[in-house]
Structure 1
Amino acid sequence: MSSSPNRGSKAAGMNSRPTSKDGSKKNIWSSLLDSAANGKRLPEKNLLILGGTPETQREFLETLCADTSADSSLVNEKRKGKTPPIANHFALGYTYRDVLDTDQEDTLARVSAYLLSEPSPSFAPLIKPLLTPQSVPETLVVILMDWSDPWTWIRRLREWVRLLRSVLVSLDDDTKIVMEETMAEWRDRKRGLDASSAAAGGMSNSGGPVTIPLGPGEWDESLGIPMCVVCQGADKIEKLEKDHGWHEEQFDFILQFLRTILLKHGASLIYTTPFLANSLQSLIHSSLGIHSLLKRQSLKHNVIDRDKILVPANWDSWGKIRIIREGFDMEGVSTAWSIEIQDAPEPLELPANAGRQAENADDGTSAVTVFEQTIYDPKRDTSIAHPATSNGGKIEVETSDMQGFLTKQVELLEQLRAEDDKERASQPTPQLEMSPIDDQGKVNEHIGPVQFNMGGIQVDADDMLKKLKDREANRAHKKEGIPTNPGDEKAHNQALANFFAGLVKKPAGGSPRGSPSA
């Protein structure tokens, strides 16, 4: 009996060993699966795309996701039909894109794009849930402008900034702390405090990192989220110059104004042209922290080519803006902008002639007013109209493209053909009627007298026909008892006698014409 406890303890020991092994195996597999799942989990990035129309928003996404590699045609054909749809026609739109590496094999990140066209205050509750402590460091705000109406840019930009400020102020404290940390990190890149510069040995004599102080007008109105302004359709710059008489002064003024404002928010600026290579993809990816594993792409500024402007964040300064053109009041614009964006957001209202209304403004302290005094819609400016057209006519003629013009002409021709067919069907079928030939007929006027040769004598068929008609008329008168004029009858008989005499009369010195000679 004493041996039974030993047997029980032995059995218990035997039963406990597999249990410990199963537990250890389970822990090992869990850690392996978790590590594999973390390795395959794609980094989540967010784009908050504000402004533009549904069409220009699609154009932006196509340019952003365009493949610029050598075998892009093959890759695009392979991925054709797999592009996620874009829902951006109502309120807050959404779509997503996967960012592929240079070899088009590895997926670097998944970018979720949220799209909003109008800066209406009623849309603020839709933006707020997108900004959380987890999403803020991975989010970039993109504001779309278009060169079809540059005179509205500053007014639109002001309303978007006001809307963003109202949303950011309403966030919870945890999110605000993360926003402050994110902006501090972006500012440190400007001041040389990033990890790369510290590792490179950028140290001062006291042992601390070398810091570059912020210049005037830099980062004094940070929003808490990185921002980028994209001016699309830069190919329309040439149209503004040729059709509306714009000069370099206007384009330089727009560039200086935008750079001065965006410098306050630490934002970047880029001009893009559809279907042409640009640095939009590199700018957006670097702002989101997406970098290729195979090829490091460099981002270079460009402030020379007026249709390919690229101003990265943390690169600009008042000194660089001032050299574009002398006389630009950066201090005044910067101060006016800081005051203007403090107001609550309002529905965007574009006046019929913003430039002319701005000229009549009295305060002169509004940045929008200053901008619209110089840059206004040229189609509504009548000061350069020709005197002959000052009575209400237009100096410009709107032209359509060739394909649109030809399409309208085809439709017009089809309409005219249908009208002709309808008119032809409503008319009776014409009948050909033969009228007797008489002296006064149109046919005789063209063919002249008909003559023929009888036994060498030239006979006028019309004269003979007339005489026969007169003879038949005289016979009819006699039969009906109608007296005839003796003079006419005598003349008629004489004419007959002359006719028959002419038939037998031969020309002197020869045989009759047309008869065979002996």
Structure 2
Amino acid sequence: MPTSSQNTGKRASIGNNSRPSSKDGPKKNIWSSMLDSSATAKRLPEKNLLILGGTPESQREFLETFAADTSDSGISNEKRKAKLPPVANQFALGYTYLDVLDADQEDTLARVSAYLLSEPSLSFAPLLKPLLTPQSIPETLVVILLEWSDPWTWARRLREWVRLLRHVLISLDDETKIVMEANMTEWRNHKRGMDVTSAGSQVPSSGRPVTLPLGPGEWDEGLGIPLCVVCQGADKMDKLERDHGWHEEEFDFIVQFVRTLLVKHGASLIYTTPFHANSLQSLIHSSLGIHSLLKRQSFRNNTIDRDKILVPANWDSWAKIRLIQGGFDMEGISTAWSIEIQDPPEPLSNGYDGASTEDSGADDGMSAVVIYEQTIIDPKRDTSLAHAGSQQGRNKIEVETSDMQGFLNKQLEVLEQLKMEDEKDRSTKKGPQQEMAPVENSPEVNEHIGPVQFNMGGIQVDADDMLRKLKEREAGRSQRKEPASTPGEEKAHNQALANFFAGLVKKPGGSPRGSPSV
């Protein structure tokens, strides 16, 4: 039978096990761990968009297209703009953010931080470098914006942006470069060895992953970050065709040239039109690894419709590019591009303002940019050179039209100037010797005017006949020399009547005061 001391020891042992004392170890903060786990579960995936090129307005246009709610076509453009967060992109490196919603517009799939830069200047390189870290590189996509308002600048703009990116990426630390290399290897092998379905999605062609060998010119200038080139304002292609005489050859050359460059970087290409449905959102989401939980997004490559071009990454090849039109030197352009992008970026203002077509990195004439700019010429520069006689043999005549009000204002100024010159000529030619002679001394004028008649008291009177009779009467009286009146008074009376009727003759159609005219 246990003693009381043993029972006491057992109770003490039980008490010690049920209520550990502070000597057993530090207390755990249960609430902190619960909050941390909840925050981790609800933490949104963060993606980065590095948007290069364009103007502040065209950058906003891109963001509006990217953030547009494609599921509800009834939403007006003003409401879509109102949903966008404020964009700060007027100076240096701009910033905004976008929340990507699922198909039901309720669940947030990711938050996209957008960094915007308009000029490829080396002075902005220190602003880009902090954005590229081992953690951010796998979640980053570079977007280069081009505008159909000036397609003759595309080659030079692309070159300067690629030069700036290479300059920034080469300056990163070794740890970041290792992550960058792994990211490029994964991106290059991503979706290779796949078959494209009719819906645009891709599925493995076999049960095991297959990696196809790279073709010529593919991925030989990988940047380390996925790249997408967006050509905005494809609706302006009709204006180029209408106002500047462009044909399918110019548009085919542009798309061949750009695709030849982008296949070297493993980049994608898309043409967009404002306020028209396109696959920009699906392409960007796929490149960033954002996938809907409710609806599978897909897009179809398009190389047929000239204003709806869409070339996904890892899809293009030289064999597909050759199908557009023959005679395109892909090998020469590809080789020249690899040489040109090694140099640091240059100011864009010196490249396409018409001052010179020479390129500093193309002493041997093998410059991809020069080849492009000699084929796709700025219409304004082409007109000036044609007037200078340096574009002999070209049949194009470019005319810059002005608006209707401007044209009418210029014509009014011309008419006013001509009117002043006419008045000046009349005033200089008019003199006392050229004054109009009396009607009675101008037979030519009298012949054109005809007899001058007027109505006096209901009687039709011929002024010329009356003047002739007065002169005859005066002559007869002077011969008779009647004593009833003095010669001076008679002569003055007759002279007054003669002057009166002579005045009527000088003013055709005139009538005496108080008498009705015919």
TM-score by length of 2: 0.70
State the match for 2:342 in structure 1: 342
Change over 3 Å in CA distance of 1:318–1:75 after alignment to 2: closer
> How many angstroms apart in 1 are the aligned matches of 2:321 and 2:299?
20
Shift of 1:169: 0.8
Is the Cα contact below 8 Å between 1:50 and 1:143 reproduced in 2? Answer: yes
SS of corresponding position for 1:299: coil
Shift of 1:70: 3.0
> How many angstroms apart in 2 are the aligned matches of 1:143 and 1:291?
23
Is the Cα contact below 8 Å between 2:53 and 2:145 reproduced in 1? Answer: yes
SS of corresponding position for 1:95: strand
Change over 3 Å in CA distance of 1:182–1:275 after alignment to 2: same
2:20 corresponds to 1:16: yes
> How many angstroms apart in 2 are the aligned matches of 1:178 and 1:321?
32
2:177 corresponds to 1:173: no
Shift of 1:202: 3.5
Is the Cα contact below 8 Å between 2:64 and 2:84 reproduced in 1? Answer: no
Change over 3 Å in CA distance of 1:487–1:124 after alignment to 2: closer
Equivalences for residues 193-208 of structure 1 within 5 A: 201-203=206-208
> How many angstroms apart in 2 are the aligned matches of 1:400 and 1:106?
51
> How many angstroms apart in 2 are the aligned matches of 1:80 and 1:365?
45
Change over 3 Å in CA distance of 1:55–1:362 after alignment to 2: same
Letter in 2 for 1:186: W
SS of corresponding position for 1:73: coil
Shift of 1:245: 1.4
Equivalences for residues 263-412 of structure 1 within 5 A: 263-348=263-348, 349-353=350-354, 357=358, 363-382=364-383, 396-399=398-401
> How many angstroms apart in 2 are the aligned matches of 1:254 and 1:133?
36
> How many angstroms apart in 2 are the aligned matches of 1:379 and 1:148?
13
State the match for 2:259 in structure 1: 259
SS of corresponding position for 1:118: coil
Shift of 1:350: 2.3
Shift of 1:39: 2.6
Structure 1 gaps of 5+ residues are 204-208, 413-447, 453-457, 459-482, 493-518
Is the Cα contact below 8 Å between 1:190 and 1:212 reproduced in 2? Answer: no
2:87 corresponds to 1:86: yes
Letter in 2 for 1:375: I
> How many angstroms apart in 2 are the aligned matches of 1:75 and 1:153?
29
Change over 3 Å in CA distance of 1:365–1:197 after alignment to 2: same
Letter in 2 for 1:353: G
Letter in 1 for 2:63: L
> How many angstroms apart in 2 are the aligned matches of 1:227 and 1:151?
21
Change over 3 Å in CA distance of 1:399–1:40 after alignment to 2: farther
Letter in 1 for 2:20: S
Shift of 1:57: 0.6
What do residues 125-145 of structure 1 show as CA deviations (whole Å, max 9, x unaligned)? 000000011100110000011
What do residues 91-115 of structure 1 show as CA deviations (whole Å, max 9, x unaligned)? 1000111111111111111111000
Shift of 1:35: 3.6
Change over 3 Å in CA distance of 1:199–1:354 after alignment to 2: same
Letter in 2 for 1:48: L
Structure 2 gaps of 5+ residues are 196-200, 413-453, 460-483, 494-518
Letter in 1 for 2:291: H
State the match for 1:53 in structure 2: 55
Shift of 1:157: 0.8
> How many angstroms apart in 1 are the aligned matches of 2:152 and 2:284?
25
SS of corresponding position for 2:377: coil
> How many angstroms apart in 2 are the aligned matches of 1:451 and 1:227?
103
Equivalences for residues 206-221 of structure 1 within 5 A: 209-221=209-221
Letter in 2 for 1:334: S
Q: Give the root-mean-square deviation of aligned CA atoms.
A: 4.2
SS of corresponding position for 1:85: coil
> How many angstroms apart in 2 are the aligned matches of 1:357 and 1:399?
30
State the match for 1:496 in structure 2: none
SS of corresponding position for 2:75: helix
Is the Cα contact below 8 Å between 1:355 and 1:376 reproduced in 2? Answer: no
> How many angstroms apart in 2 are the aligned matches of 1:80 and 1:325?
41
Larger mean CA deviation between 224-233 and 377-386 belongs to 377-386
> How many angstroms apart in 2 are the aligned matches of 1:118 and 1:317?
30
> How many angstroms apart in 2 are the aligned matches of 1:328 and 1:230?
23
What do residues 174-204 of structure 1 show as CA deviations (whole Å, max 9, x unaligned)? 111111111111111253389x99977434x
State the match for 1:419 in structure 2: none
> How many angstroms apart in 1 are the aligned matches of 2:305 and 2:266?
22
> How many angstroms apart in 1 are the aligned matches of 2:13 and 2:88?
69
Change over 3 Å in CA distance of 1:270–1:139 after alignment to 2: same
What do residues 412-453 of structure 1 show as CA deviations (whole Å, max 9, x unaligned)? 9xxxxxxxxxxxxxxxxxxxxxxxxxxxxxxxxxxx97979x
Is the Cα contact below 8 Å between 1:218 and 1:263 reproduced in 2? Answer: yes
> How many angstroms apart in 2 are the aligned matches of 1:488 and 1:229?
109
Equivalences for residues 446-485 of structure 1 within 5 A: none
Shift of 1:211: 2.4
> How many angstroms apart in 2 are the aligned matches of 1:345 and 1:90?
20
- Out of 30, 36, 43, the position equivalent to 2:45 is 43
SS of corresponding position for 1:98: strand
Letter in 1 for 2:244: H
Change over 3 Å in CA distance of 1:199–1:374 after alignment to 2: closer
SS of corresponding position for 1:344: coil
> How many angstroms apart in 2 are the aligned matches of 1:167 and 1:199?
36
> How many angstroms apart in 2 are the aligned matches of 1:320 and 1:353?
34
State the match for 1:153 in structure 2: 154
Is the Cα contact below 8 Å between 2:47 and 2:113 reproduced in 1? Answer: yes
2:130 corresponds to 1:126: no
State the match for 1:500 in structure 2: none
Larger mean CA deviation between 219-228 and 101-110 belongs to 101-110
State the match for 2:143 in structure 1: 142
Letter in 1 for 2:169: L
Letter in 2 for 1:287: S
> How many angstroms apart in 1 are the aligned matches of 2:304 and 2:162?
28
State the match for 2:238 in structure 1: 238
Change over 3 Å in CA distance of 1:346–1:396 after alignment to 2: closer
Change over 3 Å in CA distance of 1:199–1:451 after alignment to 2: closer
> How many angstroms apart in 2 are the aligned matches of 1:341 and 1:378?
27
Change over 3 Å in CA distance of 1:50–1:164 after alignment to 2: same
> How many angstroms apart in 1 are the aligned matches of 2:229 and 2:311?
10
Shift of 1:61: 0.6
State the match for 1:107 in structure 2: 108
SS of corresponding position for 1:381: helix
Change over 3 Å in CA distance of 1:286–1:17 after alignment to 2: same
Shift of 1:248: 1.3
Change over 3 Å in CA distance of 1:294–1:72 after alignment to 2: farther
Is the Cα contact below 8 Å between 1:260 and 1:330 reproduced in 2? Answer: yes
TM-score by length of 1: 0.70
Is the Cα contact below 8 Å between 1:100 and 1:107 reproduced in 2? Answer: yes
> How many angstroms apart in 2 are the aligned matches of 1:74 and 1:217?
44
State the match for 1:455 in structure 2: none
What do residues 145-183 of structure 1 show as CA deviations (whole Å, max 9, x unaligned)? 111111111111111111101110111111111111111
> How many angstroms apart in 1 are the aligned matches of 2:51 and 2:177?
21
Shift of 1:9: 5.5
State the match for 2:228 in structure 1: 228
SS of corresponding position for 2:168: helix
Is the Cα contact below 8 Å between 2:222 and 2:265 reproduced in 1? Answer: yes
Is the Cα contact below 8 Å between 1:353 and 1:376 reproduced in 2? Answer: no
| Count of matched residue pairs | 415
